[in-house]
Structure 1
Amino acid sequence: MSMHAEVVYHLARRDVVKFLRDRQNVAATLVRPLLWILAVGFGLRRAFDPGATGVDFVSFLVPGVATMAVLFSSMFSAISIVWDREFGFLKELLVAPVPRATLVFAKMIAASVTALFEVSVVLLVSPLLGARIDPLGALLSIPVLVAFGMAVSALGITVASRMKTFEGFGGIVNFLIQPVFFFSGALYPLEGLPPALSAVVRLNPMSYAVDATRGLCVGVHHFPIALDAAVVLGTLVVLGALAVRSFSRMQA
């Protein structure tokens, strides 16, 4: 194993182990998407017209909630950078004889692994809540969600590299997450939206991650799957480059 691969492995493993050892955080992370399915899925089920999509609302909602879980988990995983700065570990990383891009990649890998853990639970439990999910489609959606998680983590790293307090990071991240989530089509069909809202949804990269996941899991999608994958991968490249640039300029 090369030195860079070892660095990525050990740093990513450190963040994943730290996440798994925090039992309260793990429990909260797993319960949050299931509450969305129960509260929103069953609460708005009667108001949803299955004729518009061909599936019931719970099945329609699950892919959106799975993508939402990736968004929240991957974005907030970057708070480890603020934590490392607070306790002096970041200074050790910044003076290590490895490229900054390697450190960023390790953080992105760790974020995608923890998000994948949460998504797996959502997709496994959702049939027990009445969702009709294609198992093969759910497996095929994993690479899309991993790429999206890495892209979101890169955005979180960009923000965290400029923050010195937990409060500052939390405020900016919450400001970013809300519009990204609510204007993604995770909770509603994209057909029949007002033109202004439709334009915003089309500009939102998460819309394409949701669309790909929903298309693979329940067969309902608005864009071609190839376009969804291309937008997610393009977003990963752009945000990854931005994260490396911000992290390279960071001072401990």
Structure 2
Amino acid sequence: MHRWRAFRAIVWREALRFIHQRERFVAALVRPLVWLLVFAAGFRAALGLSIIPPYQTYITYETYIVPGLCGMILLFNGMQSALSLVYDREMGSMRLLLTAPVARWFLLFSKLCGATFISVLQVYAFLAVAWAFGITLPGWGYVTVLPALVLGGLMLGALGLALSSLIRQLENFAGVMNFVIFPMFFLSSALYPLWKMAESSRLLHDICALNPFTHVVELIRFALYLRLEPLALVVVIAATAAFLGAALWGYDPARGMIRRKG
């Protein structure tokens, strides 16, 4: 009962924070929509696409990048949630939360679930806007993509948790976010297929293939077309476990950064 109350309170707090920060919702939609409506128009002629799984016919470039832009929303929101953790720690509310009579791992997991819930809502809002602009996807894909979005949100949120345990000051986090977000996003299959990357550089192709964010994007891409990509599923689950383990270690007062901060 204590755990359920704590879980509900933390998730509700995340929801209230999101509701009161309307500009956060707008910003979460503006970023992918700029890529979808502006950059895609310019790249459409420059980037040719072949028929690759899960597609069974030629598609427009706008259709191709939709899964990557869904991943972008999850990535940015995971980092935004981590930023709020750093802020809470500076303000003292994080210390109060971690002293609650509930296991520390459960509190962090509840925070992660709350952030993932908000991320998934933002993705569905983006998919609705994309549909309004003529980007159509399989009808059942909007349902089957939900588990992929949850897994991707958990992985990227866990990464944000791990990073937040290493950052002592709020002003340092913005630089770390840029150092993580942009390489993960651009060195992935979000904007161009891996075979296209291999044509220019085998090294960059290998880096993209090893990038966990690539597998989040591919998991979403296949799920939107009612298919499962086993390798992506395994990588995302393994990366989630690794990032969450790092976050739990970082927030352990006996070993992590919380203890060293004093």
Alignment TM-score, normalising by the size of structure 2: 0.88
Q: Equivalents in 2 of 1:212, 1:33: separation in Å?
A: 18
Q: Which residue of 2 aligns with 1:127?
A: 131
CA contact (8 A) 1:78 1:157 kept: yes
CA contact (8 A) 1:184 1:206 kept: yes
Kindly, what percent of the aligned residue pairs are identical?
Answer: 31
Q: How many residues align?
A: 248
Q: Equivalents in 2 of 1:144, 1:246: separation in Å?
A: 27
How far did 1:210 drift? 0.9
Q: Which residue of 1 aligns with 2:115?
A: 111
Runs of at least 4 residues of structure 1 off by over 4 A?
Answer: none
- Kindly provide the amino acid, as one letter, of the partner of residue 3 in structure 1: H
How far did 1:52 drift? 4.8
How far did 1:217 drift? 2.4
Q: 198, 216, 219: which one pairs with 2:223?
A: 216
Q: 195, 199, 214: which one pairs with 2:206?
A: 199
The one-character-per-residue Cα deviations of 1:202-233 (angstroms, maximum 9, x if unpaired) are: 111111111122223258x9xx7111111111
Q: 169, 172, 175: which one pairs with 1:168?
A: 172
Answering whether residue 16 of structure 2 is matched by residue 17 of structure 1, we say yes
**Gapped regions of structure 1 (runs ≥ 5):** none
How far did 1:128 drift? 2.3
Q: Which residue of 1 aligns with 2:243?
A: 239
How far did 1:85 drift? 1.6
Q: Equivalents in 1 of 2:112, 2:150: separation in Å?
A: 10
Q: Equivalents in 2 of 1:189, 1:59: separation in Å?
A: 13
Give the CA RMSD over aligned residues.
1.8
Q: 91, 98, 103: which one pairs with 1:99?
A: 103
Q: What's the secondary structure of 2:251's corresponding residue?
A: helix
Q: Which residue of 2 aligns with 1:72?
A: 76
**Gapped regions of structure 2 (runs ≥ 5):** 53-57
CA contact (8 A) 2:148 2:223 kept: no
Q: What's the secondary structure of 1:140's corresponding residue?
A: helix
The one-character-per-residue Cα deviations of 1:95-115 (angstroms, maximum 9, x if unpaired) are: 222111011101111110111
- Kindly provide the amino acid, as one letter, of the partner of residue 198 in structure 1: H
Q: Which moved more, 1:129-138 or 1:6-15?
A: 129-138
CA contact (8 A) 2:78 2:156 kept: yes
CA contact (8 A) 1:138 1:213 kept: no
Alignment TM-score, normalising by the size of structure 1: 0.91
The one-character-per-residue Cα deviations of 1:115-164 (angstroms, maximum 9, x if unpaired) are: 11110011112122232311212321221121111111111111112223
Q: Which residue of 1 aligns with 2:34?
A: 35
